[in-house]
Structure 1
Amino acid sequence: MEGKEEDVRLGANKFSERQPIGTSAQTDKDYKEPPPAPLFEPGELQSWSFWRAGIAEFVATFLFLYITILTVMGVNRAPNKCASVGIQGIAWAFGGTIFALVYSTAGISGGHINPAVTFGLFLARKLSLTRAVFYIVMQTLGAVAGAAVVKGFEGNTRYEVFGGGANSVNHGYTKGDGLGAEIVGTFVLVYTVFSATDAKRNARDSHVPILAPLPIGFAVFLVHLATIPITGTGINPARSLGAAIIYNKEHAWDHHWIFWVGPFIGAALAALYHQIVIRAIPFKTRD
């Protein structure tokens, strides 16, 4: 019994960086900062884990588009808002699917399922350029395949009449409104990804890696609630491109640049904010 009490006492004081709420952690680190990923890592191409990760990103993005676009189509087909899950249901579909897919693929590829997330993590040197480009290609192909399957279920006529789940700036909003919504929405998502997967928090709280998909999915849900009325919510260039390619109508391409530029700017800002302001990595002098 004394041994157990000693374990509890040691466990409670194991990590020196635990601080009272409202204070900053200035004590010695209880973890090792992972080294930055190399810009180019040719050896990855000879590793099965590299190709397996790309396949996982393809399948996850395929399933993401399949579930979410079908949900959007179901809402658009309903005779009135009360006869469908509505905007809240669409937001839950996006957020819940991300939660499930990130949980399922995080151990294989990191569970990005979004070129903006991959771009932000690349800027923070969490993965190599080789892997980042490969992920983005596989995510895009998976998104196109997912949207194509939905079109196969719905048929050409219904798919086109109900918009195919394609993103565009809605009436009453300007291109600047749409761009701003995509920047801020993606910032929220990518900042949440950084916070939920932070090595510092993982070292202090062993449960963090298990719970990481939950705040990420919840961030997607909240952003959709806020911005569906503005842009239909992109915050994921692969999702926007996959739907636009399969829908392939002029108005789906009119503002398509917003759904790449906005998310990439938002991801870059989130990466800079987390690395420079929150973690102050460029200013750290202690090992």
Structure 2
Amino acid sequence: MEGKEEDLRLGANRFSERQPIGTAAQGAGDNKDYKEPPPAPLFEPGELKSWSFYRAGIADFVATFLFLYITILTVMGVSKSSSKCATVGIQGIPWSFGSMIFALVYCTAGISGRHINPAVTFGLFLAKNVSLSRAIFYILMQCLGAICRTGFVKGFQQGLFMGHGGGANVIATGYTKGDGLGAEIVGTFILVYTVFSATDAKRNARDSHVPILAPLPIGFAVFLVHLATIPITGTGINPARSLGAAIIYNKDHAWNDHWIFWVGPFVGAALAAIYHQVIIRAIPFKSRS
């Protein structure tokens, strides 16, 4: 125990915050034990010729495909049961969403960078972590994966799918459009802020366990947001997931408030990017080359 306490003291001294309040994280001349990655270019034509670019998009397509397979079937299984005790119950829905994100983030982290969600991709684009071309490609592949998987579920369980809402996101009775929009903004903010925190270059350099554990807080954030917002909107926070269900289910009420499940997540992602990059990390704006 004494040796461990000594290690902790040495670590605290070695990694103390040397940066005066109000200064930029990448200020000139400061002596850091970590380095921020350079900003991604706005458009990088060379990556369009790279197999890794398309491999990453395929990985996000497959991840979104698998994500909706598990989660939509879980939602429908709970909906069709007359007794919630006969299924995983309402709490099982958040667990399915969070657990699948945990598994898929772990699988895709080294390939596509653990996106699986247009809102996450948008937030990382604003933070200059990905180029515009990559962000657009990822979002297209995520939406395509969501549509294909929802269509697959409908194909072999059409009666169950159409009879129980198809997992489409709608504003619940008793809540206003403003309630739904606010729930989506705050829920996505929590998710994207967690993604930024779990993948922070500073924390990765100082805490060797952070890259290994990154999927856990991201999945847990999805779980907690679903617990809070399922009664309000069914929990979107992922425009691809909402789009796939709306297109395949294709009933009027699934489209009435569909804009909320795009505007809310994108606003929440933008706020999370600004908060983490500008307020928490004080990283100065750098132009994209």
TM-score, structure 2 normalization: 0.90
Question: Which residue is 1:70 aligned to?
Answer: 73
Deviations 1:168-196 (A, max 9, x none): 00100000000000000000000000000
Which residue, out of 278, 281, 284, partners 1:279? Answer: 281
Runs of 4+ in 1 over 2 A off after TM superposition: 8-19, 23-28
Q: Which residue of 1 aligns with 2:133?
A: 130
Alignment identity in percent?
76
- Take 1:228 and 1:247, find their aligned partners in 2: how far apart are those partners? 19
Structure 2 residue corresponding to 1:147, chosen from 147, 150, 157: 150
Which secondary structure does the structure 2 equivalent of 1:281 belong to?
coil
Tell me if the contact between 1:36 and 1:126 (Cα under 8 Å) persists in the aligned partners: yes
1:247 aligns with 2:249: yes
1:169-224 deviation per Cα after TM superposition (whole angstroms, max 9, x unaligned): 01000000000000000000000000000000000011111100000000000000
Shift in CA distance, 116/15, structure 1 to aligned 2, threshold 3 Å = farther
Equivalent residues of 2:117, 2:239 under 8 A apart:
yes
Structure 1 residue 158: deviation in Å?
A: 2.1
Counterpart residue type for residue 276 of structure 2: H
Q: In structure 1, what is the equivalent of residue 171 of structure 2?
A: 169
Offset at 1:83? 1.6
Corresponding residue for 1:261?
A: 263
Deviation at 1:24, TM superposition (A): 11
Gaps of 5+ in 1: none
2:97 to 90, 94, 98: 94
Q: Deviations over 1:75-130 (max 9, x none)?
A: 01111222221221000000000000000000000110000000000000000000
Aligned residues: 274
Residue in 2 that maps onto 1:79: 82
Counterparts of 1:276 and 1:24 in 2: how far apart (Å)? Answer: 11
Are 2:20 and 1:17 aligned? no
Larger RCO: Structure 1 or Structure 2 (Cα < 8 Å, ≥ 6 residues apart)? 2
Kindly report the root-mean-square deviation, in angstroms, between the aligned alpha carbons of the 2 structures. Answer: 2.3
Contact 1:16–1:29 under 8 Å retained in 2: no
| Deviating more after overlay: 72-81 vs 232-241 | 72-81
Q: CA deviation at 1:9?
A: 6.3
- Give the partner amino acid of 1:154: Q
For 1:24 and 1:72, the matched residues in 2 are separated by 47
Change (3 A) 1:47 1:258: same
Q: Secondary structure at the match of 2:255?
A: helix
Q: Which residue matches 1:120? A: 123
Between stretches 142-151 and 269-278, larger displacement belongs to 142-151
Give the aligned residue type for 2:15. Answer: E
Map Cα deviations across residues 52-92 of structure 1 (whole Å, 9 max, x no partner). 00000000000001110000010011112222212210000
Judge conservation of contact 1:167–1:233 (CA < 8 Å) in 2.
Answer: yes
Equivalent position SS for 2:31: coil
Contact 2:22 2:282 in 1 (8 A): no
Q: Of 221, 233, 236, which aligns to 2:235?
A: 233
List per-residue Cα deviations over 1:211-239 (Å, max 9, x = no partner).
00000000000000000000000000000
Aligned to 1:46: 49
Unaligned 5+ segments in structure 2 are none
